[in-house]
Each structure stands twice: as C-alpha cells, then as structure tokens.
Structure 1
C-alpha cells in the first residue's frame, strides 16, 4: 500500500475564530440546505482512515512510495459537502479477522517489581484474554471488580482494559521524588513502594456526595458570581490567545485543528464553540481584568451563551442566560493557577491520584448501545461518578486526563459504524441514537446546565496524527447530529478526539469495535453541584 500525500497545512490558529454568517460547520449535518442563504463551502478535508483505500469520486492524489517500516497506510477521503440533506457514509468494511494484538501499554505489559524513581505505581499487569478460560476469568472479574486488584479488562478476545487510564503509560515524575507530596490530592496519603492497595471505598451515591470534601458531609454551597457581573471593554475583533506553557510543538492540521503534545502525549485541539455559531449569530468579545476575555453569543429570542476564557483560551466559566434573565452555569473553574506544578505550566491532575480501582460491575460502568438497546439510558447517565471528585476541574483538564474522565460512566455508541476513514453518519444509523438523545433531553429538562463529553475514537490503522483528526471529526459529527436532529443545545455538548490511544479491542488491524464514539455526563467534574447566588 502507499501512504497518502499530506495535505497542505494551514497556518496555526491561536484564537477561536467565529464562523462567518452562513458558513457550514466542519461536519455533516443531517438537514436540508437553505438555498436562499449564501454559504461558503469548506475545501475538501482529507480524513485519514484506517484500512485499505476506498473508491474515490475524484482523481486520486499522487502519493509517495512507502518508507521501510512504515505503519499501515491511511486513506484520504473527500471532504464533507456543504449542508447535504442526508450525510452518507461509505459502506463499512466487514469486520476483519482478529489480528495480532498491538503492543500493550507499559502498565499492561510492564515488568514486575518496584518502579524506579520518577515512575508512577501501577497494579500488577494483566494480559488481554485470548483463550476461553481467560475470557471467562475476565468475565468473573468484570462482574465484581472490587474483589480483585487486577486491571479490569473487557471479557472478549483481545479485550483491552476497561479504564482508559489503564491503557496509557503515566507521565514520569521528576527523578528522585516519585511521590511529590505537593502533587497529591487533598487528604490523600502516599503509598509506600510495594504496598498493596487498600480496599477501595464504595462509589458515591450522588454528585454532591462525590464532591464532598469530607466523606458523608455535604460541601458548603459555592457562590458563583453572574457571568456578566464584571464590566468589560468591547473588542473590535476576535482575540488572539497565548500558547499555554507546557504545550509541545504545535502543528497545523486540517479544518483549523492543531496537533500538540502534553507530557509526551499527542492531542488534537480545536475550538468546538464554532458549533454555537448559527447563521447570523456572530459573537462579540469583551476584555476583562487579568487578560481574560468574555465571549457573548445572542440568539433569536434573547438567549445568550456567555463564555469567559483566560489568556490561553481555557474556559473558566460558561453560562446560558435565557430570555427571562435566568442563568444556568455549565462550566465553572475560575481558580486555575497560571503556574501549575509540572512541565512548565500544564499538569495532568490525574498524576496526583493512585491508579483507579473500579468498584462497580462493568455493565454498570459501560453501556454498548448495540447489545443493550433496552437499557434505561436516562437512569444510567444520571448516576453519579464512580469515585470521589477531589475538586472542580477545567474542561481541558477533563479532555486531556484519562484518569479524571474515568471517574464518570460512559455509553459506547457502537451502533454508529463509521465507514473506513469517514466521519459521516447515515440517517439510518442516526435513528439509533434516539433513545440516548431522549435520555439526554430528559436530563436537561431536569437541569438545563448539564454537560456531556462526546469522545471520538479510531482503530490502529493509519498514522497517529491523522487518526486524531479523524476521531475529532467523528465526535463533532455526533454532536452536530444530536443538535440538528434531536434538538440538544450545542453548548451542553463538548467534543474531543483521541485517535487510536484507547482501543477497545487490542488489535493493530481494521476493527469496527474501535471505530466508535463515547458519551459521558461530566457535569460533576466541571462545576460545583452545590451553588448559590
């Protein structure tokens, strides 16, 4: 196979850029076009795929010869057309036979013995189940994870770890100081090297109990000032934000996305606020004290979406203000220190925590929509985190820390079977999201300030960076579908792509199970659940 030629990179975009009035979003939207509204179609965006090349409608782009030792070729796809009436995906490839497992992460295939200075402490490694006996053993552990100190894996052939944080090697701490007392969470004690894990506490029974500083005692309500309380200075154009310290080399990707590194891990970043910019609704910006910026989007009927960002573009607070002046706080993390410990500015808060121990059965932690269509998705999504939430985290901390995301349950939307290299969703599959969308709507009727994270994933075929971009587009496609078809407000949905980092089945070949999107309710991670005015 031949590796595809790289597309022409765009210049890095340091600032969120509003979509001009009438311009379509990056992902396909299942709604008919409005010919009266002029639109500017985006140029075709090559989406790196995961398997053999698919037929193209246009002439193929010449590609260079593969380099020795290169990974399987990625497949370029045509970009999404502007406002198609129904987004069509290419037919999915048949599920490939099980291929050789990919090399396991260091904490799953690591060497026994005490870790060296600078390495995080991990539980004993567990190989993926392959034989029927191993799969049965994994099933028994999955039914009662609290009774085992082993890494919980999916009870299927080559099943990966259930927790995403168990799939990645932890970033090393500075040599000679592996426990760094200043980096532990509030009230947490260091664990001696080689000491067995203490029995995990039972999961919280509510969001408030999860956020309680003292177990069993509710936290005092947090007073949140109105998002419009401070007077700002009007800006004539969109601001340019500083590059966060600790972010590695930044490389332009497609659709205005940026590839960067944190703690030796590669991420994709884009401003998903573009999903808020409906036709004719352009944001206005105001400068606040301390380098902060307030962004205001006003919709028909008087509803406003107001976001306050720090000078790096991180969201400190976001609220929706309805036409009656009622404010619903979606995110609230105003106290992010500029000089957080570690790596010159960026620091994964999951480092402060011991490896997570799952204490609920796997079927109460993950729902697969294809095999459990009759589950009560509302009751599942409204459940609290599975362990204590030490503090309120910023949206970016949740996006970039698997250890923090693992605190909340997830629904794997495996009824959305993306075609190879595609982020498009056919309407026949869009219908399979109705019950999940209805559950989200029911939660929002109870509390309009709830927030959901939509995660995109790929299989292991293709390059790391191209898969990151593709997975981010998949997450965005699902968010757009939930808004355009099912009426879920876009501000209640955050998106992030993770590429091939968190495989569900450990194989380096094409895998429909790994081409998926996941939804988590992250409200108790990103704002105080007890608040006052």
Structure 2
C-alpha cells in the first residue's frame, strides 16, 4: 500500500493518493475516501459513461438499472435505481442547504448513553451472542434521538455523532490478523446472521442503505490504519454480496482506522480489529428525490 502513495498539498489540506483511495489530513482530522465503483463492477458487466464532469456507472440487476454518479475525483454524487424509466434515489450525496461540497463534518451534542430509551445491548449489539431478533431489531430501529434534518452520505461517514444516533452491530464473530484485511473462507458463515437481517430489510424496502465500518487497533500510523480499516470494510461488503447475494447498491463502506477503539489500548488488541454495521437510511431519507420524479438529464 505504501508504495502506491503520492503526497501533495491542496490549500490547507495534505492529500495522499493510494490507488483508488485518498487520505486527507486537514487540521486535526484525517479521513479516507474511495471510489466504490470497482465493488460494483466485480463481474465486469457495468457500463461507464462520461457526461461533462460526471461519471455514470450503470449496472443491470434483475432487469433494473442501478446508476452510480460520481464526480471526476470518484466522489459519489448519487446512486439511483431506475424503475419503468423513473428514478428512485437510494443515496443523494449532493450538498444541500447551502453547504459546501467539502463541508463533511457536522457537530452534534455527544450521545448520552445512560439516557437511552433502549437497553444498551439493543443499541450496541454483539453479533456473536445476539439472537437474530436483536440483530434485525438493531438494523430496523429508528434513530435513538431526533435529528434536525437529513444528512448527506459524506456527512454521515465523517461525523461520528450523526452515526451514533443509529444502533450498531459489532461483527465480533469476524476477526482479522494484525495488518490484514482478509476474511478467511472459514469465517464466511459467521456473517450469515447479519446477512439474513439485511436481506430481510431489503426485501421490505429495496432502498435501504447499510454502512459497513472498518476499524483497527492502535498499532501503526494513521495512514496505514485508515487504509487497512477501509479495506476491511470493503472485504466484508464484497462477501455479503458474493456469498449472500446482498445487492451492492444497498451497502456503502468506510474505514476509521484507530479513531474509534472499542477497547482502550495502545497494543495489538484483537477486539479493536473489527467491522461494524448499521442502517443509515433514516439519516439519509429526507430530501431524497421522489420515485415519481423524472430522471435527471
């Protein structure tokens, strides 16, 4: 990974490009972005179109076109399903409310865990010990606190207090070796409970969106851990699609490196090398285009 990296300055940002990933350092924040089109085009059947400054990737699944629109830098603008020639937006990542396209971080008050109206084991669900109804319940639960507005995908990805308004499932059944993002085939079946919950949710609403989050322990530097965690999230998303037939358009991924340790430790803690899943549809849904709206030209 390190051999691919090229570092440059863009204004007040340090930008590190690593293949289809970009690590950005700005002030006291460091985050990673990636172009997810490769995950959509694993079967090689996607059609890529360029329209001005936009790149459209068209995949056909079960007779329906799934169109992902990115800008020239690979940043997602929107992802849609076309049904009978009409656009149904799954993810709208275009800035709204006069905010800049790069205004990702949203400050909300920290969540008071002791004041939650649901039990803690329903807010943070440990997949290894949770019954299926707990997993499905966490996936389908509403935000634990009211939110003032809908958010873009980037705002959700890069603002922890927004994400924390949704329950999460820690896939502690899946473990990673130090420095590895590979999930061994003997662990695939351990993803079955979360896959069943997601498929059940998608069967009721094909526009559901689930965020797959990757994490590392505190060993190593920020850039290595961000890249590693992002690859861990992608690995799990690929398995959920390839092995359990979850449509890739219902999944999005993000790595957080060592920024959200589950166990406070500076050492090689296996529990911190993990993947988390949460449903983010309620955070996205307001302001989406209506199913009856004409497709954008």
User: TM above 0.5, one fold?
Assistant: yes
Structure 1 residues 427 and 373, CA gap change in structure 2 (3 angstroms)? farther
Q: Which has the larger radius of gyration?
A: 1
2:2 to 7, 18, 23: 7
Superposed, 1:149-160 pairs within 5 Å as none
2:13 paired residue number: 248
Partners of 1:374 and 1:505 in 2: how far apart? Answer: 25
1:432 match: secondary structure: helix
Aligned partner of 2:189 among 431, 435, 460: 431
The alignment partner of 1:411 has SS state of strand
**In structure 2, how many angstroms separate the alpha carbons of the residues matched to 1:354 and 1:431?**
38
Higher strand share: 2
Q: TM-score, normalised by structure 2?
A: 0.86
Residue 454, structure 1, aligned to residue 209, structure 2 = no
Deviation of 1:247 (Å)? 6.8
TM-aligned CA deviation for residue 408 of structure 1: 0.7
What whole-Å deviation, never above 9, does each CA across 1:366-397 have from its counterpart, x for those lacking one?
11112224544222211111111221211111
Gaps of 5+ in 2: 293-297
**What is the CA distance between 1:525 and its match in structure 2?**
1.1
Distance 2:104 2:127 in 1: 34
Q: Which has the higher contact order (CA 8 A, sep 6+)?
A: 1
User: For the residues of structure 1 that align with 2:248 and 2:201, how far apart are their CA atoms?
Assistant: 15
Question: Does 2:263 correspond to 1:499?
Answer: no
Determine the structure 2 residue equivalent to 1:336: 96
Structure 2 CA distance for partners of 1:529 and 1:440, relative to 1, 3 Å = farther
Deviations 1:288-321 (A, max 9, x none): xxx6x25141326642222344676543432122
Q: Is the 8 A contact 1:247 1:346 kept in 2?
A: no
Q: Counterpart of 1:250 in 2: which secondary structure?
A: strand
Please list the CA deviations of residues 201-239 of structure 1 after superposition, one character each: whole Å capped at 9, or x if unmatched. Answer: xxxxxxxxxxxxxxxxxxxxxxxxxxxxxxxxxxxxxxx
**Residue aligning to 1:170:** none
Does the 8 Å contact 1:296/1:304 carry over to 2? no
CA drift at 1:454: 0.3
Please list the CA deviations of residues 57-109 of structure 1 after superposition, one character each: whole Å capped at 9, or x if unmatched: xxxxxxxxxxxxxxxxxxxxxxxxxxxxxxxxxxxxxxxxxxxxxxxxxxxxx
* Unaligned 5+ runs, structure 1: 1-5, 14-242
Hey, what does 1:273 align to over in structure 2? 37
Task: Quickly say closer, same or farther: Cα 1:479–1:327, change in 2 above 3 A.
Answer: same
Corresponding residue of 2:23: 259
Number of aligned positions between the proteins: 287
| CA RMSD of superposed structures (Å) | 2.7
Q: Cα 1:317–1:512, aligned 2, differ >3 Å: closer, same or farther?
A: same
Report which of the two has the higher share of helix.
2
Distance in 2 (CA, whole Å) between partners of 1:345 and 1:441 is: 33
* Whole-angstrom CA distance in 2 between matches of 1:326 and 1:442: 25
- For residue 276 of structure 2, what is the aligned residue in structure 1? 518
Question: What is the CA distance between 1:263 and its match in structure 2?
Answer: 4.3
TM-score by length of 1: 0.50
Q: Distance in 2 between matches of 1:357 and 1:273?
A: 37
Mapped pair 1:357 → 2:112: yes
